[in-house]
């Protein structure tokens, strides 16, 4: 636990030695999303995994914006004495990674953009988020988790690893209502990052899930086509959280990418 300058306390993991990797979770996750990566990479990387505002052990008060989340991560990295990190964001974590790139570029050694997209919300998408805000306020995080769980996991995982449904549901259901509402408002208001893609000049790995129903692989192709020199990996038989669903496959592509950075 560490206190940032504006009075919020942030829960985070900081384990391992090697190249610093900042793991940024999605919605409505917390840092335990990254447990399969943190435990596998400790010998190779210094893994920093924060809980975003309103999630896990981090304080529940705003402002809740994508830029504020990015500033929180940047401040944590600076407090921990990290000059540059491989910024790894999943879904909403990817939206935050784009903001980190725009606002704190010197901190970004490389990017891993998993299950994410560059575009802003459509009006239809915002309408769904408004309904989710109402659901969270009236029926709580458990009801939000009930609604999100099917999209979170691929068909193969749901059929072959049913225990994962409970595991991921527990993570989603543990979010605070303040965190859920704040993140939904932050995502609704986020800017379109499409123009940012051409400015990215650090090594970038894009990861998609072959069965991701929330962010289809076509979005990953858009990132890959627009980010010069980027690498695209599709984790087959996995949905929106391929890092949990197929940790060995995810860790393999991530480890290869990290190993490649040593030669740059």
Can you give the binding site for ligand MLT, defined by CB under 6 A? Answer: 26-27, 91-92, 187, 214, 240
Min. distance of Cβ 240 from ligand MLT in angstroms?
6
Three-state SS sequence of 116-173:
CCCCCCCHHHHHHHHHHHHHHHHHHHHHHHHHHHHHHCCHHHHHHCCHHHHHHHHHHH
Min. distance of Cβ 75 from ligand MLT in angstroms?
21
Min. distance of Cβ 121 from ligand MLT in angstroms?
7
Closest CB to ligand MLT among residues 37, 91: 91
Closest CB to ligand MLT among residues 50, 203: 50
Cβ-closest position to ligand MLT: 26
Closest CB to ligand MLT among residues 59, 242: 242
Query: If you compute the radius of gyration of the chain from its CA atoms, what whole number of angstroms results?
Result: 17
DSSP state of 184: H
Closest CB to ligand MLT among residues 30, 204: 30
- Whole-number Cα distances in Å, 90 to 79, 80, 162, 206, 241: 23, 22, 22, 10, 8
Residues 48, 110: Cα–Cα separation, whole Å = 15
Min. distance of Cβ 115 from ligand MLT in angstroms?
7
């Amino acid at each position: 636990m560490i206190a940032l300058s504006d009075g919020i306390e942030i829960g985070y993991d900081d384990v391992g030695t090697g190249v610093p990797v900042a793991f940024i979770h999605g919605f409505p996750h917390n840092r335990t999303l990254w447990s399969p990566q943190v435990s596998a990479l400790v010998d190779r990387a210094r893994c920093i995994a924060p809980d975003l505002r309103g999630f896990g052990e981090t304080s529940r008060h705003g402002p809740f914006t994508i830029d504020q989340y990015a500033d929180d991560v940047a401040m944590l990295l600076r407090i921990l004495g990290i000059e540059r990190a491989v910024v790894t964001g999943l879904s909403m974590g990817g939206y935050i990674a784009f903001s980190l790139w725009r606002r704190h570029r010197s901190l970004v050694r490389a990017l891993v953009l998993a299950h994410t997209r560059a575009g802003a919300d459509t009006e239809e998408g915002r309408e769904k988020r408004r309904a989710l805000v109402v659901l969270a306020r009236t029926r709580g995080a458990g009801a939000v988790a009930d609604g999100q769980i099917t999209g979170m996991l691929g068909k193969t995982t749901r059929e072959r690893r049913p225990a994962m449904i409970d595991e991921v549901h527990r993570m989603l259901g543990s979010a605070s209502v303040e965190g859920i509402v704040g993140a939904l408002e932050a995502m609704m208001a986020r800017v379109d990052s499409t123009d940012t893609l051409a400015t990215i000049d650090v090594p970038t790995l894009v990861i998609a899930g072959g069965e991701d129903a929330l962010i289809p692989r076509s979005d990953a192709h858009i990132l890959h086509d627009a980010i010069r020199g980027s690498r695209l990996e599709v984790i087959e038989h996995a949905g929106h959280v391929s890092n949990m669903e197929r940790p060995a496959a995810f860790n393999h592509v991530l480890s290869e990418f990290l190993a490649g950075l040593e030669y740059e």
